Chains A and B, each alone.
Chain A
């Protein structure tokens, strides 16, 4: 079993729809990241969170530390949101820096 599981693997939506991508992890973490990767490879860090909720424009990320679960929401989706969204967790090694462990990604396609 992977330490970081994302669902769904693939998601197709119509423009304007509300989208949710889920991430579950099984290890102790100090932070969780949501990343966006467009075709061509470039990765953009969307959020880094260790508790609660963050919002940036149409994007909202939440994390529940007790349940080891995070969600990324996109409101009023647009074709330019089409990308792979990757969840990554920063493992907690007893207070010292750990490694980033990545989920397999969710491929989102938003149709006009």
Chain B
């Protein structure tokens, strides 16, 4: 079966811009979670969606937001980008057996 698909793989944006990242989970998985990975902070939980509802949120500013559609695909948005937002953004889809991660989107803010 197809894995978790994240698009785009790489992205370069300028400070102040906004960005939208996409995640398509494994077919049948209704839970999608998002993570930020930086060299300094490691992996950090952003938020989790289940059946179009945000079920949990990590400790990130309101510039970070997300949503989930009826087909379980999810998007995350970062507004007013800062240099510190440069990171690998990973999403994972979940079933009772565990997590399957996408390959990530590497965002560079210049």
Contacts and interface: CB of A to CB of B under 8 A. Distances in A.
Interface of A: 33, 35, 40-45, 48, 86, 88, 97-105
Contact of B42 (A33, A40, A98, A105): A105
A44 B101 CA distance: 7
Contacts of B51: none
B42 A97 contact: no
Contacts of A48: 97-99
Interface string B34-59: 01010000111100100000011010
B103 interface: yes
User: Interface size for chain B: under 10, 10 to 19, 20 to 34, or 35 or more residues?
Assistant: 20 to 34
A25 to B, nearest CB: 15
Given A45-B99, A97-B48, A102 B104 contact: no
Given A42-B104, A43-B92, 19 more contacts: A40-B103, A41-B37, A41-B90, A41-B103, A41-B106, A42-B101, A43-B90, A43-B101, A43-B104, A48-B97, A97-B56, A98-B56, A99-B45, A99-B48, A100-B33, A100-B45, A102-B45, A103-B42, A105-B42
A88 B35 CA distance: 12
B100 interface: yes
Contacts of A43: 90, 92, 101, 104
B32 interface: no
A101 B103 contact: no
Contacts of A45: 98-101
Contacts of A97: 48, 55-56
